[in-house]
Structure 1
Amino acid sequence: MSEAADTRQQFLSVATRLFAERGFYGTSIAAIADELPYTKQALLHHFGSKEKLYGEVLKGISDQLMTELEAARDATSGEGSSALEDTLIRFYRLLEGQTHKTQLLMRELLDNKHRATSANVWYLRPFLESLIALAKQASPSTFASDAQALITVYQLLGAMNYFLVSEPTLSQMFGEEMYRELRSGYEEKLRVLISQAIG
């Protein structure tokens, strides 16, 4: 990796974490640069603006999710209910170790009210469209329209993401032992939820 590419990656890594912790509006270019041995001007040289940096962060997460989706399709021949289930379980396992990305995606839904009307690119749209297609392949009789499939996909992703970002609260509220039990049983419950949703 070249020095310039390495610098960009460092900025993206810190930006992902800070955007997740503080949201788009609560994170400044200066705060990101302060965590690295670079200046604010260096960050702007690489990305141009906070908006463009944020777009790159979302694109990186979307690309990672799409890679997992393709891998799940390849592993299951891309057909039937097993393709959707395997894909969603892969997402859960991926995000289980990277909860800051889950937190960022949830913050994006909450924080983008003002930016949504002027957004030119929706980085997560191809990912959601692919899940819609998988849901319709899994159960054509259940999902007659894209909207019906998206409702179910969104509910499943929501349940998964809500659980993942709840770790600090649940472990403090009910204790580490109970949280470990919750964590160990969640994937199986998620499989049941997916199976019931497909019909």
Structure 2
Amino acid sequence: MDQYADSPRTRYITAASAVFAHKGYHAASLAGIADQLGVTKQALLHFFGSKVVLYEEVLSALSDRLLSSIENVEGTTPEAMLRTFFLHLSQDALCNVEDTQLVARALLDAQTTSENWPMKPFLDALGALAHKTKRWSKASDAELFCWIYQHIGSIQHFAISQTTLRGMYGAEAFDVLKETHQAQLRAALADLENDPV
């Protein structure tokens, strides 16, 4: 068992993740996060020093989870690993909407000086894996990045929209939409063994 799993720091980051996911950086407050945890604002400040630092820790924890999902993906070839990663990401996004919302909020909240954005190691690792596939081995970084972003964007947009889609069309229709989205994702990932275009 992870010795840090139940530490106050970990609990604070977990609670703050949910608040930042639902409200975004600007609408979230340390006092609100502290109230939700049943601690004082000073307790949060003791561990993190400021809301900015807490937010960076939240995004770093998310990046670490996503990076770990790339490092631990199973497959015998880069193509199989990349395909498995995206299909798992799609399933995880539907089940863990808060992480998906957090990514979207982080993108919306990012400043023009985001050179040190905590999600960069995740995107770099995903790009490195994609460059190992036959299809993307000779692609420019720009081409590859846009391809990756199209898939991540589709997955995240669909996951964030699931409550609205269920409300508009009903649970049965949403299940059909979910299956169709997965089928289209699998089709889009089917050409990874093909020669570069």
The reply to whether TM is greater than 0.5 is yes
TM-score, normalising length: structure 1: 0.87
Q: Equivalent residue for 2:109? A: 111
Where do 1:143-182 residues align within 5 Å? 143-182=138-177
Q: Equivalent residue for 1:60? A: 61
| Alpha-carbon distance in 2 for matches of 1:46, 1:130 | 29
Q: Equivalent residue for 1:18? A: 19
| Structure 1 moving runs of 4+ over 4 Å | 1-5, 140-143, 196-199
Q: Equivalent residue for 1:94? A: 92
Distance 1:125 1:185, change over 3 A: same
| Counterpart among 122, 128, 132 of residue 133 in structure 1 | 128
Residue pair 2:78, 2:132 contacting (<8 A) in 1 also = yes
Q: How many residues were matched structurally? A: 193
| Alpha-carbon distance in 1 for matches of 2:193, 2:25 | 35
| Alpha-carbon distance in 2 for matches of 1:46, 1:65 | 24
Shift of residue 129, structure 1, vs aligned partner: 1.1
Root mean square deviation, CA, Å: 2.3
Q: Which has the higher helix share?
A: 1
Q: Which runs of 5+ in 1 are unaligned?
A: none
Secondary structure at the aligned position of 1:89 is classed as: helix
Q: Which amino acid aligns with 1:156?
A: H
Shift of residue 110, structure 1, vs aligned partner: 1.6
Distance 1:143 1:160, change over 3 A: farther
TM-score, normalising length: structure 2: 0.88
Residue pair 2:4, 2:10 contacting (<8 A) in 1 also = no
